[in-house]
Structure 1
Amino acid sequence: MQNKAAVDMLVSPIGELVTSASDSGLLKGSELAEVRRIKDAAIAVKDGKIIAVGTAFEVAGQVEVTATTRIVDATGLLVTPGLVDPHTHLVFDGNRANEFLMRCQGKSYAEIAEAGGGIVASMRATRGATQERLVALGRKRLAKMLDCGTTTCEIKTGYGLDLDSELTMLAAIVELSSTQALEIVPTFMPAHAVPPQMDRGDYVRSIVKDMLPAASRMVTDKGLFAFADVFCDRGYFTLEDTETIFAAAQSLGFGLKVHADEFVNLGATTLAVRCGAASCDHLLNVSDEEIKLLAQSNTVAVLLPGTSFFLNLSEHARARRMIEEGVAVSLGSDFNPGSCHIFSLPLIWGLACLHLKFTAAEALNALTVNAAYALGKGEKIGRLSPGYQADITIYDVSCLEEIPYNLGANPVSFVIKRGIVVRAPEEHLPA
């Protein structure tokens, strides 16, 4: 007789479980739409990892439920992997609600920046904030993201734009990563904008000589891995700047990301693929040739439909072309104080279906499997398969297609992170 494993948690019965059809690897082309759907399902968890997935009957035959096993009843509910947000600017002070109204009156992103708004406006507010304040603000925002089903997210610096302020932001992100239920991946991004009254070349030299080495020491001392990111676009950083920063960052052990082709195409996607970057983000103006380059690489295209929606743009990233060419496509929120004040991934899911023409299944895989690979965590999170971390989002809907259909609503009932219930309806919380 087979020995049954005693489990810490059993999610059962489940109305319907949906996860990637494959158990490993990036999803490209038609693979993005392929999911496994199991009715009357169950998930067994031990030591924070999934050890069994299948029908409730199948899983019951493989595991032992003890007096200490936590039972999560998901009768009639939908279960997916925990959602992963690969692109946020979550740590900042101040707000830019006035800019939203300026855009409603017809002002462009560039016009607002020229009037003293944009990234520099957030710089002024954030430079005056202590680490403690940034942590407190970040904690509140992370709680809202968790409520909407996000179990892992990336957070960038980029509103300090000098050595001390960027390191204060990074220290706040590092502190949040060790104290919050969400898993956090830090990204160091002093190359978000050139601070006022500073020459761009001098600032790039400061990033390379002072900022990146100091940031590397901080994350290394904490035993963490971090990315470096550059906003390579007109009015921000040139392709040559980006190449210089990439070389310095790679030499210090950072992974690479790039804000590419948001306003104009400077060739950042080609550079990122050549350098083995984890992701290229935005890509509203990526060329056909660069789409083919991406398809031949493992660099993930992180598309941000919330940003084009929030900016009221008529054009969106050419997601269908990318998928058809075989690019590994992901989705992110781009949550930030100016161009996309949206933290809900279920809302991003709906916008991806509306504006990028994703199917519900493609959006799920983009927000789980490929998003995890964009953060270098694709072998650990993003799937409901044995051996993966038990990151699980449970929704009060009957099928996957109801999530984008309920546009703007929060359908999430339970969130499980590393096998621990971190969000539940009040009646399910321990007394």
Structure 2
Amino acid sequence: MTAKSETKVEVDLLVDPIGELVTSRHRRGPARGQAMAEIERIKDGAIAIRDGEIVLSGKRDQVLSRIADRSACTVVAAGDRLVSPGLVDPHTHLVFGGDRADEFMMRCQGKTYAEIAEAGGGIVASMRGTRSASLADLVASGRRRLDRMLAHGTTTCEVKTGYGLDRESELRMLTAILDLDAEHAVDLVPTFLPAHAVPPGKSRGEYVEDIVSDILPAAARLLDERGLARHSIYVDVFCDRGYFTLADTEAIFEKALSLGMRLKVHADEFESLGATALAAEKGAASADHLLAITDQDIDRLAGSGTVAVLLPGTSFYLNLKEHAPARQLIEAGAAVAVGSDYNPGSCHIFSLPMIMGLSCLHLGLKVEEALTAMTVNAAFAVGAGDRIGQLSEGYQADIVIWDVGRLEEIPYNMGFNPVGTIIKKGRVVPAS
């Protein structure tokens, strides 16, 4: 606790006692390099909250000595359990229609992602299911998925469109995301991704022109009509072999920036086309996937404000031997976050505790780095690092009380959900 004085504070919720309190503390930007492993691990801690915001956090005796009237607050006892910030998922596709369970079995029989897509599966299969779904259908299924994510410790997540692939369907997806954000305990960060694949019946060039001249302006109008700032939304492009070129990506980025929107990119998943360098140059919040990133682009990321979002669940789910070079990125000084990539096809995994285990197993992250990657750095990857992702004074009180006693037990226990209690904006919320 970094108290400047011993002034007493009013509190309405107190988490006390805490067996071990774990958090990164990086207010000015994401953690990089060695700092990713430098987290606070406080034995016998406590957290005091007022009006949904953390006002005191640290050693129990220090926190309790600062509370004006302990009898006036609700107490949540963590006992000897672990307490961390709520987890932040910086990359999901959780709004969609239909399912792709058959594709999973095809992959089990040896079919590749590309072969499935060429046979009419992949993103285009989800396009068909999503186009046939009503707004109410998309909201209802999205709500169920968010309930499950919350139960596994996710308190904020980014959500992309990208399964509509025409103006009407993409706007319906965006509307569903905005509606879910308004109603659900989990805070959503919307990302507009019409450039996820080329729809049947269009050439790539025709569709890029549609995105630039029609679909992006329509999304901007939708935000205006709902009274939402345009910079509250990100625009993303799947820049990779067989999807969109670097020139396509630059054209879409330029239009998005002219409309006041922010940027993200799917980059270097299959092949490096230069999207990571473009993202760093244009000030994108994140470049995601990065399995095929070059050494030169690792250095570019390290010298930029763009966060590298790694998605180990996707490599695992696709049964790939290749993984993003997490250790090289960290050692170069890049800011690394980790997300689920929860989607109907290439990674149907929403559990960030499981993803934490995979990030340790397959990316070589230390457990402290994994926590930082899923809290502070993930928060900066979605533009919210100034208010979520850490248990520091002045931050939103998004907290997970785990049914384990040590941080190491989260990735160790991949076979069950170790979440006990969720506190969101200072309020205990149902986690199931």
Q: Normalising by the residue count of structure 2, what TM-score does the alignment of the two structures yield?
A: 0.97
> Counterparts in 2 of 1:103-122, with a 5 A limit?
103-122=107-126
Please name the residue that 1:344 is paired with.
351
Quick one: which of 118, 130, 151 aligns to 1:126? 130
Q: From the superposition, tell whether residues 424 and 55 of structure 1 become closer, same or farther in structure 2 (CA, over 3 Å).
A: farther
Q: Secondary structure at the match of 1:256?
A: strand
Bigger Cα displacement from structure 2, 276-285 vs 196-205:
196-205
Please name the residue that 2:227 is paired with.
222
Conserved 8 A contact 1:230-1:237: yes
> Counterparts in 2 of 1:267-346, with a 5 A limit?
267-346=274-353
Alpha-carbon offset, residue 72 of structure 1: 0.6
Q: Secondary structure at the match of 1:6?
A: coil
Conserved 8 A contact 1:307-1:340: yes
1:390 aligns with 2:397: yes
What amino acid sits opposite 1:48 in the alignment? G
Q: From the superposition, tell whether residues 2 and 268 of structure 1 become closer, same or farther in structure 2 (CA, over 3 Å).
A: closer
Alpha-carbon offset, residue 408 of structure 1: 2.9
Alpha-carbon offset, residue 24 of structure 1: 4.0
Please name the residue that 2:99 is paired with.
95
Q: Secondary structure at the match of 2:172?
A: helix
Q: Matched residues in 1 for 2:349 and 2:256: separation?
A: 29
Please name the residue that 1:157 is paired with.
161
Please name the residue that 1:254 is paired with.
261
- CA root-mean-square deviation: 1.2
Percent of pairs with identical residues: 62
Quick one: which of 179, 195, 206 aligns to 2:210? 206
Alpha-carbon offset, residue 26 of structure 1: 1.2
Please name the residue that 1:374 is paired with.
381
Please name the residue that 1:245 is paired with.
252
Q: Matched residues in 2 for 1:38 and 1:108: separation?
A: 46
Alpha-carbon offset, residue 409 of structure 1: 1.6
Conserved 8 A contact 1:163-1:210: yes
Please name the residue that 2:366 is paired with.
359
Q: From the superposition, tell whether residues 424 and 266 of structure 1 become closer, same or farther in structure 2 (CA, over 3 Å).
A: closer
Please name the residue that 1:78 is paired with.
82
Deviations 1:62-94 (A, max 9, x none): 113455512110001101111000000000010
Q: Runs of 5+ in structure 1 lacking a partner?
A: 426-431
Q: Matched residues in 2 for 1:412 and 1:24: separation?
A: 29
Q: Secondary structure at the match of 1:42?
A: strand
Bigger Cα displacement from structure 2, 14-23 vs 412-421:
14-23
Deviations 1:22-74 (A, max 9, x none): 45421000010000111110000001110001111111111134555121100
Q: Secondary structure at the match of 2:330?
A: helix
What amino acid sits opposite 1:91 in the alignment? V
Deviations 1:149-206 (A, max 9, x none): 0000000000000010000000000000100000000000000000011111111011
Q: Matched residues in 2 for 1:325 and 1:409: separation?
A: 34
Conserved 8 A contact 1:41-1:54: yes
Alpha-carbon offset, residue 423 of structure 1: 3.0
Please name the residue that 2:15 is paired with.
11
Conserved 8 A contact 1:259-1:280: yes
Q: Matched residues in 2 for 1:289 and 1:282: separation?
A: 16
Q: From the superposition, tell whether residues 170 and 424 of structure 1 become closer, same or farther in structure 2 (CA, over 3 Å).
A: closer
Alpha-carbon offset, residue 424 of structure 1: 5.6
Please name the residue that 1:64 is paired with.
68
Q: From the superposition, tell whether residues 206 and 174 of structure 1 become closer, same or farther in structure 2 (CA, over 3 Å).
A: same
Q: Matched residues in 2 for 1:273 and 1:6: separation?
A: 43
Q: Matched residues in 1 for 2:7 and 2:34: separation?
A: 39
Q: Normalising by the residue count of structure 1, what TM-score does the alignment of the two structures yield?
A: 0.97
Q: Secondary structure at the match of 2:377?
A: helix
Aligned length in residues: 425
Please name the residue that 1:429 is paired with.
none
Q: Secondary structure at the match of 1:236?
A: coil
Conserved 8 A contact 1:413-1:423: no
